[in-house]
Chain A
Amino acid sequence: MYAQLVETGVKRIKALSEMSEQERAFQEKIDAEIKIEAKNWMPDAYRQTLIRQISQHAHSEIVGMLPEGNWVTRAPSLKRKLQLMAKIQDEAGHGLYLYSAMETLGADRDEEIAKLHNGKAKYSSIFNYPTLNWADMGAVGWLVDGAAIVNQVVLQRTSYGPYSRAMVRICKEESFHQRQGYEILLTLMREGNQAQKDMVQDAINRLWWPSLMMFGPSDEHSPNSAQSMAWKIKRQSNDELRQRFIDQTIPQLELLGCTCPDPHLKWNAERGHYDFGEIQWSEFYEVLKGNGPCNQERVATRRKAIEDGAWVREAAVAHARKKQNKNVA
Chain B
Amino acid sequence: MNTKTDLIEYLLRLGDSALIQGQRLCQWCGHAPALEEELALMNVGLDLVGQARNWLEYAAELLDDGRNADHLAFRRDERAYRNLLLVEQPNGDYAVTLLKQFLYDAWHLPVLSGLAQSSDERIAGIAAKAVKEVTYHLRRSGEWVERLGDGTEESHKRMLAAIPEVWRFTVELTSADDSEQRLHTAGITPDAAQVAAAWQAKVSEIFTSATLPLPPAASYFYLDARRGLHSEHLGILLAEMQFLPRAYPDATW
Interface residues of A (CB under 8 A from B): 62, 65-66, 68-69, 72-82, 85-86, 88-89, 92-93, 95-96, 99, 134, 184, 187-188, 191-193, 195-196, 301-302, 304-306, 308-316, 318-320, 322
The A interface, classified by DSSP as helix, strand, loop or mixed, is: helix
Knowing A73-B26, A73-B27 touch, does A311 contact B253 (C-beta < 8 A)? no
Bound Cα distance A238, B29 (Å)? 32
State the Cβ distance, A320 to closest chain B Cβ, in Å.
Answer: 8
Q: Do A188 and B147 have beta carbons less than 8 Å apart?
A: no
The 7 sampled A-B contact pairs (Cβ below 8 Å) are A73-B26, A82-B46, A89-B42, A92-B38, A187-B253, A193-B248, A305-B31
Q: Do B251 and A196 have beta carbons less than 8 Å apart?
A: yes
Of B1-9, B170-178, B217-225, B239-247, the one contacting chain A is: B239-247
Decide if B152 is an interface residue (CB 8 Å cutoff): yes
Q: Do A305 and B154 have beta carbons less than 8 Å apart?
A: no
Contact of B244 among A74, A184, A304 (CB under 8 A): A74
Nearest neighbor of A69 in chain B, beta-carbon distance: B29
Bound Cα distance A85, B49 (Å)? 9
Contact of B148 among A81, A99, A315, A320 (CB under 8 A): A315
Bound Cα distance A85, B46 (Å)? 6
Bound Cα distance A67, B218 (Å)? 40
Knowing A65-B38, A77-B253 touch, does A88 contact B154 (C-beta < 8 A)? no
State the Cβ distance, A49 to closest chain B Cβ, in Å.
Answer: 24
State the Cβ distance, A204 to closest chain B Cβ, in Å.
Answer: 18
Bound Cα distance A226, B171 (Å)? 67
Decide if B164 is an interface residue (CB 8 Å cutoff): no
Q: Do A81 and B49 have beta carbons less than 8 Å apart?
A: yes
Contact of B251 among A65, A81, A192, A301 (CB under 8 A): A192
Decide if B23 is an interface residue (CB 8 Å cutoff): yes
- Chain A residues whose CB sits within 8 angstroms of the CB of B39 once the complex forms: 89, 92-93, 96
Bound Cα distance A311, B34 (Å)? 11
Of listed A78, A86, A184, A316, residue having the most chain B CB within 10 A: A78
Interface bits B21-47 vs A (CB < 8 Å: 1, else 0) = 011001101111111111100110110
**B 63-94 contacts with A by CB, 8 A:** 69-70, 73-74, 93-94
State the Cβ distance, B84 to closest chain A Cβ, in Å.
Answer: 19
Q: Do B158 and A82 have beta carbons less than 8 Å apart?
A: no
Q: Do B147 and A88 have beta carbons less than 8 Å apart?
A: no
Interface bits B196-232 vs A (CB < 8 Å: 1, else 0) = 0000000000000000000000000000000000000
Q: Do B250 and A318 have beta carbons less than 8 Å apart?
A: no
- Chain B residues whose CB sits within 8 angstroms of the CB of A86 once the complex forms: 42, 46
- Chain B residues whose CB sits within 8 angstroms of the CB of A77 once the complex forms: 70, 74, 245, 253
Contact of B29 among A88, A95, A99, A313 (CB under 8 A): A88
Q: Do A65 and B30 have beta carbons less than 8 Å apart?
A: yes
Decide if B235 is an interface residue (CB 8 Å cutoff): no
- Chain B residues whose CB sits within 8 angstroms of the CB of A89 once the complex forms: 38-39, 42-43, 46
Q: Do B155 and A315 have beta carbons less than 8 Å apart?
A: yes
- Chain B residues whose CB sits within 8 angstroms of the CB of A304 once the complex forms: 31
Nearest neighbor of B246 in chain A, beta-carbon distance: A76
Decide if B150 is an interface residue (CB 8 Å cutoff): yes
State the Cβ distance, B43 to closest chain A Cβ, in Å.
Answer: 6
4 closest residue pairs by CB, A with B: A309-B33, A315-B151, A315-B155, A69-B29
- Chain B residues whose CB sits within 8 angstroms of the CB of A72 once the complex forms: 26, 29
Of listed B42, B152, B244, residue having the most chain A CB within 10 A: B42
Q: Do B154 and A315 have beta carbons less than 8 Å apart?
A: yes
Q: Do A195 and B248 have beta carbons less than 8 Å apart?
A: yes
State the Cβ distance, B146 to closest chain A Cβ, in Å.
Answer: 7
- Chain B residues whose CB sits within 8 angstroms of the CB of A316 once the complex forms: 147, 151
- Chain B residues whose CB sits within 8 angstroms of the CB of A80 once the complex forms: 253
Of listed B35, B69, B147, B252, residue having the most chain A CB within 10 A: B35
Decide if B100 is an interface residue (CB 8 Å cutoff): no
State the Cβ distance, B243 to closest chain A Cβ, in Å.
Answer: 6
State the Cβ distance, B209 to closest chain A Cβ, in Å.
Answer: 10
State the Cβ distance, B212 to closest chain A Cβ, in Å.
Answer: 13
- Chain B residues whose CB sits within 8 angstroms of the CB of A93 once the complex forms: 39
- Chain B residues whose CB sits within 8 angstroms of the CB of A322 once the complex forms: 150
Knowing A76-B244, A78-B49, A309-B33 touch, does A191 contact B252 (C-beta < 8 A)? yes
Q: Do A312 and B94 have beta carbons less than 8 Å apart?
A: yes
- Chain B residues whose CB sits within 8 angstroms of the CB of A306 once the complex forms: 33
Q: Do B34 and A76 have beta carbons less than 8 Å apart?
A: no
- Chain B residues whose CB sits within 8 angstroms of the CB of A314 once the complex forms: 151-152, 154-155
State the Cβ distance, A181 to closest chain B Cβ, in Å.
Answer: 13
Bound Cα distance A139, B29 (Å)? 20
State the Cβ distance, A72 to closest chain B Cβ, in Å.
Answer: 5
State the Cβ distance, A324 to closest chain B Cβ, in Å.
Answer: 13
Q: Do B155 and A312 have beta carbons less than 8 Å apart?
A: yes
**B 140-164 contacts with A by CB, 8 A:** 146-148, 150-152, 154-155, 158
Q: Do A74 and B94 have beta carbons less than 8 Å apart?
A: no
Of listed A62, A81, A86, A312, residue having the most chain B CB within 10 A: A312
Decide if B52 is an interface residue (CB 8 Å cutoff): yes
Q: Do A85 and B52 have beta carbons less than 8 Å apart?
A: no
Q: Do A301 and B253 have beta carbons less than 8 Å apart?
A: no
Knowing A81-B49, A88-B42 touch, does A95 contact B35 (C-beta < 8 A)? yes
